[in-house]
Structure 1
């Protein structure tokens, strides 16, 4: 019984803790927390649970959230008012422009011309007044634009009678112009010649169709933004991976090139060595061929005889040299006195040779 009671008490407590964790994680989706973080920090989990009663999921307090909602509603209201005013102003300018085009193409009644001229004049006055109001708002300390104020511009507006006539007709003309634009828009979405009643029925459903298309365009635009962001993220990842692959490929190419370059250099060296050996053998063969062409058997035998004669003369010269060397050595025995006599003897021999040569020259008969 006690064991069952303990298990029953533990079960609800675990369920309560799990619900608390789920509540905290759901209340703060922007925080990158997991269930293990809350389990390891129970006090922090309780603090977040208490804080979730006063803070929205995106981090704003309840009071600030209400103020933000009121500001957004006020902004939406102001934006809607401005949009209505701007749309009406653009429609009126468009009507004036179309009237100017019709006036140049065909004759226009004087009443219509007066109506559109009055509307054009008052639109211009209203635009000038609005410009003066904006200049006064942004430059409160400076003088007004061109020294004018809004009342001076309003004095240039049309008379009350012309304004009253224009206002009475303006609603009808504006309704006709809007109906014409709606029919042109309808003919764009549903082209074809149909009756007036069918067009009116389709025109009633046109706004819903346009709303659906606008929502679809907004949805597709959001998806396109998400796709563009995802594409950009994937492109960055792809480029980073591509750079990594290029670096790996460069390292592989460099290693392979270094290893292959060693083999290539070795093969080149062996090739050049073989080529040099072939060139040397070819030179030797050419030299042998030249020798064979140059030295015949008779030439070789003559060279042998010349060699033998030169060797014999060389031996005789060497013998004479040996005898002269022995004589010189015996002359050196007499000392310096004999050296002086030898020099005198060589001088006398030189003079004798010179006089003999002169005597021969003078003894030749002259013509």
Structure 2
């Protein structure tokens, strides 16, 4: 009874240690810790388990985490404000660029030309004023860029009537441009939706943000799941390697204890077996080669090769005789110098033809034999 109680206590202690290690590995995923490190350093494992109650998985305390979240919210607000103005500015620039491209292919109505000229001039003036404001440092006497002031730049603004007309028309034009960009984005996300009606596109466009958000959440959940699977795989690999090392030790002890005494005789038998098998294989290869030769060179083929050889020998003799005649003529006319270059070229051609036919005769002779 006492032994069973002791075993239950040890098992519960092991379970508690395993849970503690799992808690530490889960609480500090960014640390490159393994279960083996925690087993070898139990006090360090307890320290990390205590720290996990006061810090999050990134190592930040609760107070610092709240301050960081507050700063991130403020930064997000500032970023959203900047993105709002920056996106409108870029949209207006895109509208001006598209109008310039259309203008190159053909002019539009005068009202449209006036609208885009006024908008472009206003944007340029506003950008110049912003650069002047950014270049000036408060509390210092510094000459502005090119000696210009904001008042001088504002003097280049269009007339108040043109600006008022431009502002009246700008929301509708901006809405058209945004609608066009939204439809292009929708066609990029789902190309098969491009052929649908405008009303259906508007309905699907209103749901596009939800679809993208759901895909983003799905991607985040898959990333988190992959991280958990990687951690689980790491623990399983460690456990598997530990068991494998134990099995290897047991196997090594068995091999050392029960190894074969007649290993030499067994190796000799194996060598004889492989030698006989190799010899059989060589005999099969020779038989296949002979069979291939018999199938390739039949009696008809051999007689045809002989006829071709006889014909080539006859042609070779005729060419040799012709060569001798040409050589004798060439020797008799060598004294005349360059006037007989044509004869020398003919001699070279015949020599080349003789070499070619000699090679062909040699090849047929080899295959016939």
TM-score, L = length of structure 2: 0.47
- TM value normalised by structure 1: 0.48
Based on CA coordinates, which of the two structures has the bigger radius of gyration? 1
